[in-house]
Amino acid sequence: MLKFLGRRIFMMLISAICITFVVFFLTNLAPNLEKVAKSEAGSRISDEEVASWLEKNGYTQPLLKRYGEWLGVAPGWTWSDENGVTTGRCIAPGSDPVTTPRYCGILQGNWGNSNVFKSPVSTVIGKRLSVTGVLMFWVMVTMVPISLLIGVMAGMREGSRTDRALSSFSIASTATPEYVSGVIMIVIFASSVTGLKWFKGTSASDVSDITFQNFFLPVATIALYGIGYIARMTRASMTEVMTAQYIRTARLKGVSFRNVVLKHALRNALIAPFTVIMLQFPWLLNGVVIVETLFNCKGFGWTLVQAAGNNDIQLLLGCSVIAVLVVLVTQLISDIGYVFLNPRIRIS
Amino acid sequence: MTATAWDPSQPILEINNLSISFFTRLREIPAVMDFSCTVMAGEAMGLVGESGCGKSTVALAVMRDLGKNGRIVGGSIKFKGRDLTNMNEEELRHIRGSEIAMIYQEPMASLNPAMKIGAQLAEVPMIHEGMSKDDAWTLARQIVADVRLPDPDRILKSYPHQLSGGQQQRIVIAMALMSKPALLILDEPTTALDVTVEAGIVDLVKDLGEKYGTSMLFISHNLGLVLDVCDRLCVMYSGEAVETGAVADVFDRMQHPYTQALFRSIPLPGADKNSRPLISIPGNFPLPHERPNGCNFGPRCSYFTAGLCDKADVPMVDIGGHDRHGSRCLRVDQIDWAAPPPAKAAIEKGEIGPVVLRMEDVRKYYEVSSGMFGGGAKKVVKANETLTFEAREGETLAIVGESGCGKSTFAKVLMGLETATSGKIMLYDRDIQSTPIEKRDTGTVSGVQMVFQNPFDTLNPSMTVGRQIIRALEIFGQGANDQERSARMLELLDLVKLPRAFADRMPRQLSGGQKQRVGIARAFAGGAKIVVADEPVSALDVSVQAAVTDLLMEIQRKNKTTLLFISHDLSIVRYLADRVMVMYLGHVVELGTTDQVFSPPYHPYTEALLSAVPIADTRVKRKRIVLEGDIPSAMNPPPGCPFQTRCRWKSHVAGGLCEKEMPPMRTLAGGHQIKCHLSDADFAGMEPVIQIAAE
């Protein structure tokens, strides 16, 4: 088991490096850098000035070297101008170049500075991620049990009236995009059209002010979409298991229907949806863009859009590191969970 | 438990005029019509018939588990005097598993993969007797020991996939016995198992039946097995019971044309492909909605009388003078049942020509590495070891052995799907060993062809039959243009005795036997010189097997093809093979002519194999040799002789030689080869396993 874990973590690191390198390469293409130079040093500078600005700020070094600097495995660039003032990646303005460390990258905890938010990337991401984290948590807490319940109830008696009703509901909920269901919910629950005004249609408020009223609608909107999807998967898996021969064995052993479902079918039926549920985490992290915009909730998705829209290279890179880590960690958990659900798979 | 007073002299199970139908949107499909049978206490009743005859439907009806579409439309099923057909779910639940238990065909699929064996067993008494968990596990341990499984504690804690097929089936049997049922339903319990494992299971079922006094309803398509296990049997055809009676009566004094035809189509000792060929049943099994008027067997029956047999439904009539013997035939009294079958012209023996294929010391090893990145210790699976033999033109060489003995690997190596690790494969004078199939020239590829085991999977479902054969002709470079090829395709359909109209049909419109004929036509498309037939008839019904076997023999005689017939069915091997090669764990343990292999001296493994095969003939006396344990893993073979772990002759060899040294291949009289350490005296003292009592 430990060997397996070690190997998986090693694989994770390799893939993380590969993916971040791709992102680094794409965000550091020449036109992007030019934009950075113009936004930093003034939008009307000439091409020569752009070139010299890029050189002074270490952007003209080979791509691999700069990737290494960003990662923190290569020493940061330094630049001495004609006045003898040394600037560099690791030298904060006004500090002594001699005392600063040579390496400063992700590994050293230096995520760079965000151009848009004018603050360190780590602070920006930390703050925004916590908003999305709370959102995700409540989505998972509502979505997973409800969808599994619906899926199992629908799948245990294929073709019954319950099955048809629940299946219709899940298809409808999956087929409704979030921007549609979100708007409908706002209209019904948070506007003067119906006059209900039970919940707030916006959750722009701070992390410290997470209330049921603020968060109910975004959580419901995301969960509704996911419920249908997971419920369909669970139903398919459940109907298949219910026709398996070992279910007949159990039934003909005299096991009651309730126990056939709970003791014999459930564990086998959960194997397939489990993977889907784990895949929901990365989807939630990046897919919340629409909902966060709709409800004006400034979370991770919103940050990502800001970073991409404003050519904020450091922030974009930071976001991709987080996204990659979440994907890889959830997949690791999913593989380990799989072993517990399915005794036929053993890690050796 | 509502243990109503029940008189043990009354039948345990009494089925009266039972009719079952399945309802689809289009129509009602009758699956079982007017079925009656009675099982007394302690009696074993066999239900015999081909697939689709409704025998499993009867079993599921007794369990009242016919699914959503199935319904009992008439008759009654009385269990201990109580009618099961009008019980509610709650009452049924008390009977299922506690008074009636069932054993299934596929043990792997019948056990819950995500539950420990112990939990699955202990569940039964916990539900029905309200036993505590600890007591139930103790009982489970005891029953597991009862079904002769080694190390019960370990087994209780394992999951189904950790056990072998034979062990799984023992667990399913144990599960059925957990609450000492009065009636046990066995639905083809050994069909998925190897013959030597089957023999062990059959012995177990018989002993347990005697020990607990359980009545049995034994469903099988194998008449030999029914003879071994049952007291009475009921032969079913197309949803009806056609004959019922005591085993001895039905086997020796049969009173229905179908029963008679069935016995004549199975290879019993004494049948011979040349002098006494099998008589196959003409025609096809009728589909449930295409049943004829009157007698269902009418169209295929050689005693058919128009105007009598096709008029009205045929009732079951009692045969006087026999013990509860009945037959569903209107002409019972007019047919002379003792008359010998119309003599089929004896066929001249095919001539055996020069050697076409020679294998010399062929080995095939697989390297299995554990670990994700190929790290970890490499293990070598020795799938084939020192395979040496030759096959002649027009000869049938049977390759016999149980699953995992390496016979399929051998076929792959010969076909070129894999290349051998070492050794020589000579086709005529060319060494084709190291040439994989992609690099073989068209002549070699079309010269060595294969007929596959499962005709259902080996035809492309979206291509017409004719197109598939033409495709093979194209690949083999036959015919100059499309016209020639389609003419050749029609000739091939003639060759396999399929109507030419079948060229435009899709595979799904064909029955199993017809599909296998298409498979044969495809194999012979390029004028194959060597055909490897990998269990070509084992997926087919008994009555069709004979026809397909005959067809293969006929084409072989015509084309002087060398047939390598891979099979585990020794009856059919004895019927059609010229020479037999017995394999065990990758080794050839015995090689000789059919007569040499089927009579002493035997290799100890051949002896056990022969004794394990059930024979549907009451005159045959068999010695029972039941092998203990399972076949060792090829990954970790035992030292010395591969068979030493299960050999009953091992004590005859002094000094533990069997455990130390691989025995040499010894050549006995007549070129008969045996790989064994036993002395000549021991070999001379061996008794024949099968004896046919004098008539």
Residues A306 and A205 both lie in one domain: yes
Output the domain CATH number for residue A189: 1.10.3720.10
Asked whether the predicted pLDDT for residue B22 surpasses 50, the reply is yes
pLDDT above 80: residue B341: no
Give yes or no for residue B334 having a pLDDT over 60.
yes
CA dist., res. B298 & res. B308, Å (int):
10
Q: Report the alpha-carbon distance of residue A123 to residue B515 in Å, rounded.
A: 70
- Whether chain A has a CB inside 8 Å of the CB on B114: the answer is yes
Supply the DSSP string of B176-200, one letter for each residue. Answer: HHTT--SEEEEESTTTTS-HHHHHH
- Asked if residue A111 lies in contact with residue A121, where contact means CB atoms within 8 angstroms, the answer is yes
Nearest chain A Cα to B122, which residue? A253
Written as six digits, the tokens of B138 are 């103790």
Cβ–Cβ of B159/A343 closer than 8 Å?
Answer: yes
A252 and B106 in contact by Cβ < 8 A?
no
> Does A256 lie at the interface with B, CB-CB under 8 angstroms?
yes
Q: Are B372 and B554 in contact (CB under 8 A)?
A: no
Please state, in angstroms and rounded to a whole number, the distance separating the CA atoms of residues B570 and B535: 11
Q: Do A254 and B110 touch (CB under 8 A)?
A: no
What are residue B259's phi and psi, to 5 degrees? -55, -45
Same domain, A146 and A214: yes
Contact A343 B114 (CB under 8 A): yes
Residue A229 shares a structural domain with residue A280: yes
- Do residues A344 and B113 make contact, with C-beta atoms less than 8 angstroms apart? yes
Instruction: State both tokens at A285.
Output: 């992290």
Decide: helix, strand or coil at residue B485. helix
Instruction: Name the domain boundary from A79, A108, A137.
Output: A108
Domain span including residue A100 = 2-108
Nearest to B104 among A245, A268, A341 (CB): A245
Question: Which chain A residues are Cβ-neighbours of B93 within 8 angstroms?
Answer: 254-256
Q: Do A254 and B115 touch (CB under 8 A)?
A: no
* Residue keyed to tokens 């050839």: B588
pLDDT at A346: 61
At A188, list the tokens: 């019904």
CA distance B219 to B217: 6
Tell me whether residues B113 and A263 touch, CB distance under 8 A.
Answer: no
Q: How far is Cα B14 from Cα B33, in angstroms, rounded to an integer?
A: 16
Task: Say which of A245, A254, A255 has its CB closest to residue B109.
Answer: A245
Q: What percent of chain B has pLDDT over 90?
A: 1
pTM of the model: 0.78
B608 compared with B192, residue with greater pLDDT: B608
Residues in chain A: 348
Provide the chain B residues 141-160 that lie in CB contact (below 8 A) with chain A: 159
Q: Which residues in chain A are closer than 8 Å to B217, comparing Cβ atoms?
A: none
Tell me which chain A residues have a C-beta less than 8 angstroms from the C-beta of B159.
Answer: 343-344
A55 and A189 part of one domain: no
Interface check for A251 against chain B (CB to CB < 8 A): the answer is yes
Per CB-CB distance under 8 Å, the chain B contacts of A245 are 104, 106, 109-110
List of chain B residues whose C-beta atoms are within 8 Å of the C-beta of residue A337 = none
Sign for the CA dihedral angle at B527, B529, B532, B533 comes to positive
Nearest CA in chain A to B94: A254
pLDDT exceeds cutoff 80 at B3: no
Does some domain include residue A113?
Answer: no
Residue with tokens 């008839």, as numbered in its chain: B537
For residue A79, is it within any domain? yes
Residue A330 inside a domain? The answer is no
Cβ of A264 within 8 Å of Cβ of B115? The answer is yes
**Is there a domain that residue A115 lies in?**
no
The C-alpha atoms of residue B170 and residue B165 are separated, in whole angstroms, by 9
Which of B106, B113, B124 shows the shortest C-beta gap to A253? B124
Residues of A in contact with B111 (CB under 8 A): 246, 249
Residues of chain B with Cβ-Cβ distance to A264 below 8 Å are 112, 115
Q: Are residues A167 and A273 located together in one domain of the fold?
A: yes
Please name the residue of chain B whose CA is at the shortest distance from the CA of residue A248: B110
Tell me which of B76-80, B252-256, B368-372 is least confident: B368-372
> At B396, phi and psi to the nearest 5?
-110, 115
Within a domain: A7: yes
**Non-local CB neighbours of B345 within 8 Å, separated by 6+ positions:** none
> Given this model, what pLDDT does residue A168 score?
92
Has residue B167 got a pLDDT over 80?
A: yes
Contacts with A158 (C-beta within 8 Å, 6 or more apart), sequence order: A239, A242, A243
User: A149: distance to nearest CA of chain B, Å?
Assistant: 20
Whether A333 is in a domain gets the answer: no
One domain for residues A95 and A139: no
Q: Nearest residue of A to residue B108 by CA position? A: A246
Residue labelled with tokens 């295409």? B290
Q: Do A159 and B68 count as a contact with CB atoms less than 8 A apart?
A: yes
DSSP states of B493-553: HHHTT--GGGGG--GGGS-HHHHHHHHHHHHTTT--SEEEEESTTTTS-HHHHHHHHHHHH
Q: How far apart are CA A74 and CA A114, in angstroms?
A: 21
Q: Is the CB of residue A161 less than 8 Å away from at least one CB of chain B?
A: no
- To the nearest 10 degrees (0 to 180), the angle between helices A2-27 and A63-71 is 130
Distance of alpha carbon B480 from alpha carbon B74, whole angstroms? 62
In a domain, A335, yes or no: no
Query: How sure is the predictor about B694, in pLDDT bands with cuts at 50, 70 and 90?
Result: low
DSSP three-state, residue A342 = coil
Neighbours of B214 (CB within 10 A): 22
Among residues A73, A108, A143, the one where a domain terminates is A108
Inter-CA distances, A106 with A73, B9, B595, B689, Å: 9, 86, 80, 79
Residues A103 and A129 in one domain: no
Tell me whether residues A341 and B161 touch, CB distance under 8 A. Answer: no
B90 CA to chain A: closest CA distance, Å?
9
**One domain, residues A244 and A277:** yes
Measured between CA atoms, how close is A11 to chain B, in angstroms?
11
Instruction: Calculate mean pLDDT across residues B541-549.
Output: 81
Residue B373 pLDDT > 70, yes or no? Answer: no
Helical spans, DSSP H, in chain A:
2-27, 30-41, 47-56, 63-71, 121-156, 161-175, 178-190, 212-242, 245-252, 257-259, 266-269, 271-287, 289-294, 300-309, 313-341
Task: State whether residue A343 sits within 8 Å of chain B by CB.
Answer: yes
To the nearest whole number, what is the mean pLDDT of chain B?
82
For residues B319-348, give the mean pLDDT.
Answer: 77
| Positions in chain A whose pLDDT score sits under 70 | 1, 93-95, 97, 195-196, 201-210, 345-348
CA distances, B108 to each of B167, B170, B249 (Å): 10, 11, 36
Residue B67: CB atoms within 10 A of its CB come to: 10
Q: Tell me what pLDDT residue B375 has.
A: 46
Instruction: Tell me, yes or no, if B321 comes closer than 8 A to chain A by beta carbon.
Output: no
Q: Which of residues 266-305 of A touch B (CB under 8 A)?
A: 267-268
- Selected residue of A163, A252, A256, A260 to mutate for chain B interface (largest B Cβ count, 10 A): A252
Contact B112 A249 (CB under 8 A): yes
Strands B70-79 and B13-23: antiparallel
Put simply, whether B128 touches A (Cβ < 8 Å) is yes
Quote the tokens at residue B393.
């033109």
Of B96, B104, B110, the CB nearest to A254: B96
Closest among A304, A313, A307 to A285, alpha carbons compared: A304
* Of the candidates B117, B67, B122, B124, the residue with the CA atom closest to the CA atom of residue B93: B124
CA-based nearest distance A263→chain B, Å: 9
Inter-chain contacts counted by CB atoms under 8 A, chains A and B: 76
What are the backbone angles phi and psi of residue A158, rounded to the nearest 5°?
-65, 135
Counting the structural domains of chain A, the total is 2
A202 and A95 within one domain: no
Which residue is closest to B160 within chain A, CA to CA?
A: A344
Same domain, A101 and A165: no
Does the beta carbon of A255 lie under 8 angstroms from any beta carbon of chain B?
A: yes
Digit-coded pLDDT (tens) for B205-224: 888 888 888 888 998 888 88
- Report chain A residues whose CB lies below 8 A from the CB of B127: 253-256
DSSP B53-122: SSHHHHHHHHTT--TTTEEEEEEEEEETTEEGGG--HHHHHHHBTTTEEEE-S-HHHHS-TTS-HHHHHH
Mapping DSSP to helix (H, G, I), strand (E, B) and coil, where does residue A138 land?
A: helix
- Kindly state whether residue A50 falls inside one of the protein's structural domains: yes
- Say if residue A79 is in the same domain as residue A138: no
Cα–Cα distance between A127 and A300 in angstroms, integer? 9
Contacts of B24 in chain A (CB under 8 A): none
Measured CA to CA in angstroms, residue B424 lies from A294, B396, B500 at distances of 74, 21, 42
Q: How far is A329 from chain B (nearest CA, A)?
A: 19
Q: What CA–CA distance (Å, rounded) separates A60 from A56?
A: 8
- What per-residue string of b and e applies to A142-172 under the rule 16 or more CB within 10 Å gives b? bbbebbbebbbbbbbbbeeeebeebbeebee
Q: Would you tell me how many other CB atoms lie within 10 Å of the CB of residue A179?
A: 13
Of B110, B113, B373, the CB nearest to A268: B113
Contact list in A for residue B95 (CB cut-off 8 A) is 254
> What is the per-residue pLDDT for B105?
81
Contact B110 A249 (CB under 8 A): yes
Of residues B110, B123, B372, nearest to A255 (C-beta):
B123
Select from B110, B111, B186, B188 the residue whose CB has the most chain A CBs within 10 Å, as the one to mutate to test that interface.
Answer: B110
Do A162 and A75 fall into the same domain? no
- Whose tokens are 């070598």? That residue is B380
* A264 touching B (Cβ < 8 Å): yes
CA distance B104 to chain A (A): 8
